[in-house]
Amino acid sequence: MDMETETKVSRWWAKFKRYTRRSLFIFIFLCFLLFIRIFLFQIYSIQGNSMYPTLEHGSVVFVWKGGFAISAKFFGTELLYTDPKINKLDLVLFVSKEDELVVKRVIGLPGEFYSIEAGRVLIDSTELLENYLPQGTYTSEPSTSIFLNRHNSPFLAMDKQGRIPPGYYLLLGDNRQYSTDSRSFGLVPVEKIKGKVIFYF
């Protein structure tokens, strides 16, 4: 191999290594972003006004997904890889019966006894203090059907009162008059909850 050919090969090899390093860096960076998107963090735009006045149509929420269920579409189910920390009055992102992402507020936790009467929400026989609601807000009673679970629905029909089973949550929208929430689609299983809203604007 003459000197000129050796120089060309050397230059080609240097370019190849440079492009390979660059491609590897881009690949690792994309994998990192995908990991964050699937397991840790999501940005979501609110559709509709069911959470008004807290959130309006077009509001942007930042959702923390660490510890919450991830969708395992290949197996046709959700995978819950840890026990997520969900507190009362948290805003959570979950998958509705129509497979749509929806944000609602956590009103009742597993093991608590709920009651909706005279337009008020009572948890363990104590009226829930909801300062985020406009004054005079009336919470109507549930309208979920007793036939809700005949179609293998993971959601659990609720009545005017009852105890929330382990692994289920009572979720309501802040715009009670126009919100489709647990009063219509039932108590939400933890595996359908995808994350907690940590910031919004």
**CATH classification of the domain holding 139:** 2.10.109.10
- Region 136-140: mean pLDDT is 94
Q: Are residues 102 and 127 in the same domain?
A: yes
Neighbours of 88 (CB within 10 A): 14
Task: Quote the pLDDT of residue 82.
Answer: 67
Instruction: Look at the pTM and tell me if it is higher than 0.75.
Output: yes
Same domain? 50 vs 33? no
Bridge partners of residue 163, in order along the sequence: 113
Other beta carbons within 10 angstroms of residue 195's beta carbon come to: 26
Higher pLDDT, 72 or 13: 13
Strands 188-189 and 113-117: unpaired
179 is annotated as an active-site residue: no
Task: Check whether residue 98 and residue 125 sit in a common domain.
Answer: yes
- 145 as an active site residue: the answer is no
What is the rounded average pLDDT of the residues 58-63? Answer: 95
pLDDT for 147 equals 47
The answer to whether residues 6 and 99 belong to one domain is: no
Rounded Cα gap, residues 92 and 105, in angstroms: 6
Residue 48, both tokens: 């509709």
**Number of independent structural domains in the chain:** 2
Residue 38: predicted pLDDT: 65
Residues 52 and 14 in one domain: no
Helix (H) or strand (E) holding 168: strand 168-172
Q: Which residue, 9, 25, 40, sits at the end of a domain? A: 40
Q: How confident is the model at residue 71 (pLDDT cuts 50, 70, 90)?
A: low
| Phi and psi, residue 139, nearest 5° | -100, 110
* 90 and 65 co-located in one domain: yes
Q: What is the mean pLDDT of the chain?
A: 86
Q: What contacts 49, CB < 8 A, 6 or more positions away?
A: 56, 57, 175, 178
* Residue 3 dihedral angles phi and psi, to the nearest 5°: -60, -40
pLDDT at 152 over 80: no
Query: Using 50, 70 and 90 to split pLDDT, how confident is the model at 79?
Result: low
Q: What pLDDT band is residue 66 in, cutting at 50, 70 and 90?
A: confident
For residues 88 and 26, membership in a common domain is answered with no
Asked whether residue 73 carries a pLDDT value surpassing 70, the answer given is: no
Catalytic residue, candidates 50, 115, 179, 182:
50
Q: Which amino acid would we find at residue 123? A: I
Buried b (16+ CB within 10 A) or exposed e, 10-43: eeeeeeeeeeeeeeeeeeeeeeeeeeeeeeebbe
Q: Are residues 160 and 146 in the same domain?
A: yes
State whether 102 and 156 are in the same domain: yes
Radius of gyration of the chain (CA): 24
C-alpha to C-alpha distances, 1 to 6, 11, 13, 15, 16, nearest whole angstrom: 6, 15, 16, 20, 20
Domain that holds residue 35: 1-40
55, pLDDT greater than 80 = yes
Residue 101 has pLDDT above 50, yes or no: yes
pLDDT of res. 34: 73
**Is the domain of 69 the same as that of 137?**
yes
Q: Is the pLDDT of residue 74 over 70?
A: no
Co-location of 51 and 19 in the same domain: no
User: In terms of domains, do 90 and 115 share one?
Assistant: yes
Does residue 195 carry a pLDDT above 50? yes
Structure tokens at 188: 């939400």
Active-site residue among 104, 192, 194, 196? 104
